[in-house]
Structure 1
Amino acid sequence: MTLHLHLAEATASLPQPLTPAQIATLATVPELVTITPTAGGRWRLAGRQRVGTVRLGHKDGAIELRIRPKLPVRRLLGLLGDYDDIWQNRQITAATDHLLVPALATVFARAAERALRGGVLHGYVYREDALAVIRGRIRTSAQLSRRMGLPTVIEVAYDDYLADIPENHILLGAIELAQTLPGVADTTIALLRHLAGRLVGIVSARPGALPTWRPTRLNERYVPALRLAELILSGASLQQEGAQAIQIDGFILNMAQIFERFLTRQLTTGLLPYGLRCVAQQGHRLDQQRRVLIQPDILIYRDGRPTAVVDAKYRTLDGAPPTGHLFQLISYCTALGLAEGHLVYASGTPSAEPYRIKKSDIRVYVHVLDLSQGSTDLAIAVAALVDRLAAGPEGPRQRVDPIPL
Structure 2
Amino acid sequence: MSFRYESLDELDPVGIEVQLTAIQASLLEQSALVDVRRLDAGSYRLLPNGRVGAVRFDDLQIEVTPKQKLGVAHLLFLLGYAKDRVFRPETVMGETYDDLWPAMAQSLVASVERALTTGLLQGYRTEQEALLTVRGRIAFEDQLRRRPGSVVPIEVRYDEFSPDIAENQILLAAIHLMLGVPRIPSETRRQLLHLAARFAGVTRLLPGTPAPRWQPTRLNDRYHSALSLAEILLRHSSTRVSARGVEMSAFVVVMWKVFEDFVTVALADALSGCPGRLEAQLPAYLTGDGDWSAGRTGAADDPHGDISMNVDVVHRDEAGVPDVIFDAKYKLASSTGSNANADHYQMLAYCTALQVRVAWLIYAGGGSDIRRRIKNTDVEIVAAPINLRRPPREVLARISQIALAAVHKSAGRPATPSDGRHSLRGGLGLRSPGR
- The interval holding the TM-score normalised by the smaller chain is 0.7 to 0.9
Distance 1:131 1:94, change over 3 A: same
Match of 1:385 in 2: 402
**Which digits, 9 at most, give the CA deviation of each residue in 1:57-90, with x for residues without a partner?**
x9xxx85312233123344344444577562xxx
Which SS does the other structure have where 2:370 is aligned? coil
Match of 1:257 in 2: 257
Percent identity at matched positions? 31
Q: Is the 1:357–1:363 Cα contact (8 Å) retained in structure 2?
A: no
Question: In structure 1, what is the Cα distance between the partners aligned to 2:223 and 2:173?
Answer: 14
Distance 1:13 1:203, change over 3 A: farther
Q: Is the 1:310–1:344 Cα contact (8 Å) retained in structure 2?
A: yes
Give the alignment partner of residue 65 of structure 2, picking from 68, 72, 76: 68
Shift in Å, 1:108? 1.2
**Which digits, 9 at most, give the CA deviation of each residue in 1:142-180, with x for residues without a partner?**
334433343221122222322222212211111100122
Question: In structure 2, what is the Cα distance between the partners aligned to 1:151 and 1:23?
Answer: 60
For 1:131, give the aligned amino acid: L
Shift in Å, 1:38? 8.6
Question: In structure 1, what is the Cα distance between the partners aligned to 2:10 and 2:361?
Answer: 22
Shift in Å, 1:353? 3.0
Match of 2:291 in 1: none
Number of matched pairs: 386
Give the alignment partner of residue 360 of structure 2, picking from 314, 319, 342: 342
Give the alignment partner of residue 318 of structure 1, picking from 335, 345, 350: 335
Shift in Å, 1:110? 0.9
Match of 1:32 in 2: 33
Q: Is the 2:276–2:317 Cα contact (8 Å) retained in structure 1?
A: yes
Q: Is the 2:31–2:252 Cα contact (8 Å) retained in structure 1?
A: no
Which SS does the other structure have where 1:393 is aligned? helix
Aligned runs of 1:41-52 on 2, under 5 Å? 45-52=46-53
Q: Is the 1:207–1:236 Cα contact (8 Å) retained in structure 2?
A: no
Q: Is the 1:54–1:251 Cα contact (8 Å) retained in structure 2?
A: yes
Shift in Å, 1:220? 1.0
Aligned runs of 1:335-374 on 2, under 5 Å? 336=354, 338-347=356-365, 352-356=370-374, 362-373=379-390
Aligned runs of 1:268-283 on 2, under 5 Å? 268-281=268-281
Q: Select between 43-52 and 223-232 the one with higher mean Cα deviation.
A: 43-52
* TM-score computed with the length of structure 1 as normaliser: 0.78
**Which digits, 9 at most, give the CA deviation of each residue in 1:7-43, with x for residues without a partner?**
223225675354683894387258422456899x976
For 2:343, give the aligned amino acid: H
Shift in Å, 1:349? 5.5
Q: Is the 2:171–2:226 Cα contact (8 Å) retained in structure 1?
A: yes
**Which digits, 9 at most, give the CA deviation of each residue in 1:199-231, with x for residues without a partner?**
233233444612222211121111100000011
Q: Is the 2:19–2:44 Cα contact (8 Å) retained in structure 1?
A: yes
Shift in Å, 1:303? 3.1
Which one has more relative contact order, counting CA pairs under 8 Å at least 6 apart? Answer: 2
Q: Select between 130-139 and 119-128 the one with higher mean Cα deviation.
A: 119-128
For 1:266, give the aligned amino acid: A
Give the alignment partner of residue 417 of structure 2, picking from 392, 400, 405: 400
Q: Is the 1:182–1:250 Cα contact (8 Å) retained in structure 2?
A: no
Question: In structure 2, what is the Cα distance between the partners aligned to 1:293 and 1:185?
Answer: 51
For 1:389, give the aligned amino acid: A
Question: In structure 2, what is the Cα distance between the partners aligned to 1:290 and 1:120?
Answer: 57
* TM-score computed with the length of structure 2 as normaliser: 0.73
Shift in Å, 1:331? 4.8
1:101 aligns with 2:116: no
Shift in Å, 1:327? 4.4
Shift in Å, 1:308? 2.8
Aligned runs of 1:1-400 on 2, under 5 Å? 4-12=5-13, 16=17, 18=19, 21=22, 24-25=25-26, 28=29, 31-34=32-35, 45-55=46-56, 63-69=60-66, 70-80=69-79, 81=81, 87=90, 94-205=94-205, 206-207=207-208, 209-237=210-238, 249-281=249-281, 285=299, 288=303, 294-303=309-318, 305=320, 306-316=322-332, 317-318=334-335, 322-333=340-351, 336=354, 338-347=356-365, 352-356=370-374, 362-373=379-390, 378=395, 381-400=398-417
Shift in Å, 1:255? 2.5
**Which digits, 9 at most, give the CA deviation of each residue in 1:224-281, with x for residues without a partner?**
000000110111159xxxxxxxx96222233323322332333222212423544444
Q: Select between 304-313 and 102-111 the one with higher mean Cα deviation.
A: 304-313
Shift in Å, 1:362? 4.9
Question: In structure 1, what is the Cα distance between the partners aligned to 2:31 and 2:188?
Answer: 31
Q: Is the 1:68–1:99 Cα contact (8 Å) retained in structure 2?
A: no
Shift in Å, 1:93? 5.7
Q: Is the 1:279–1:298 Cα contact (8 Å) retained in structure 2?
A: yes
Q: Select between 73-82 and 305-314 the one with higher mean Cα deviation.
A: 73-82
Q: Is the 1:53–1:182 Cα contact (8 Å) retained in structure 2?
A: no
Q: Is the 1:7–1:13 Cα contact (8 Å) retained in structure 2?
A: no
Question: In structure 2, what is the Cα distance between the partners aligned to 1:330 and 1:221?
Answer: 47
Question: In structure 1, what is the Cα distance between the partners aligned to 2:272 and 2:201?
Answer: 44
Question: In structure 2, what is the Cα distance between the partners aligned to 1:293 and 1:196?
Answer: 50
Q: Is the 1:371–1:378 Cα contact (8 Å) retained in structure 2?
A: yes
Q: Select between 385-394 and 348-357 the one with higher mean Cα deviation.
A: 348-357
Question: In structure 1, what is the Cα distance between the partners aligned to 2:324 and 2:363?
Answer: 17
Question: In structure 2, what is the Cα distance between the partners aligned to 1:134 and 1:105?
Answer: 46
Distance 1:115 1:293, change over 3 A: farther
Distance 1:319 1:192, change over 3 A: closer
